[in-house]
A = this chain, B = another copy of it.
C-alpha cells in the first residue's frame, strides 16, 4: 500500500493498536457498565474499559465479540463499532489507537463477570469509579449513543430478556431516556408498531399478573424520522 502508516525512522516508530469494549446492561433498575481493574502499578486502583485480544484471523468486530463472550458468557449480543480514538495526547510516549466497540446484554443475565486476566465488575453509570486515561469520555460517548439510538431504532430490546412485560419495557425506556413516559400512549404506539407479540405466559408478582411479550425479529421497525427540514 502506498499509504505509509508511520514515518519509518522516527522516534514514534510504533503504533499500539487495541480494541476496547463498552458493555452495558440493566440491573436493579440501573444501567450498568462492565469495567476491568487496571493491573499495572501506575494506574493501580483505577478501572478501565475491558480490552479485547486482537485475533489475527478475525475481524475487529469478531475480536470484540469474543471478548464480550469471554467476559459475560454470552454470544450473539448486540455489538457495534463506537469510535476510534487516536489522539497523541492520550498517551504521549507512544501513540495508542483504540478501536472501541459498544455492546448491550440483556438484563438478568449477569453471568460470571470475569474469567479473563484481572478482575472485572459491573458499575452503575451514576456511581463510576476512577477510570484510566480518556475512558470516562469514551463511556459518556457510548451512553449518548445508546440514548440516541434508543429513539430511532429497536435497540431497547437488546437490554431485555427474551420475554418481558410492557411495564418492564417502559421502565427501560424511562431509565435510559431519563424521563417519564405516558403508559397508555406508550402501549398503544408500541403495539400498533407491531414489533412485539404476546406470548402465552404471564409474569406473576405483586398485583395483577402481566402479559409477557417477545420481540418479533421479523418486524421491520420503520424509523419514521421526522426530518429537520422537509
Contact = CB atoms under 8 A, between A and B. Distances in A.
A2 interface: yes
Nearest to A15: B17
B86 A227 contact: no
Contact of A193 (B95, B117, B229): B229
B56 A95 contact: yes
A162 interface: no
Contacts of A12: 56
A4 interface: yes
Given A154-B228, A193-B229, A228-B153, A7 B60 contact: no
A12 to B, nearest CB: 5
Q: Chain A: interface residue count, which band?
A: 35 or more
A175 interface: no
Given A3-B18, A5-B18, A228 B56 contact: no
Contact of A117 (B2, B19, B56, B96): B2
22 contacts: A2-B38, A3-B52, A6-B56, A7-B56, A10-B56, A12-B56, A15-B17, A17-B97, A57-B88, A58-B88, A60-B84, A84-B99, A97-B97, A97-B99, A151-B225, A151-B228, A156-B229, A186-B230, A190-B229, A193-B228, A224-B228, A225-B226
Interface of A: 1-7, 10-12, 15-20, 38-40, 51-54, 56-60, 81, 83-84, 86-89, 91, 95-97, 99, 117-118, 151-154, 156, 173, 181-182, 185-186, 189-190, 193, 221, 223-230
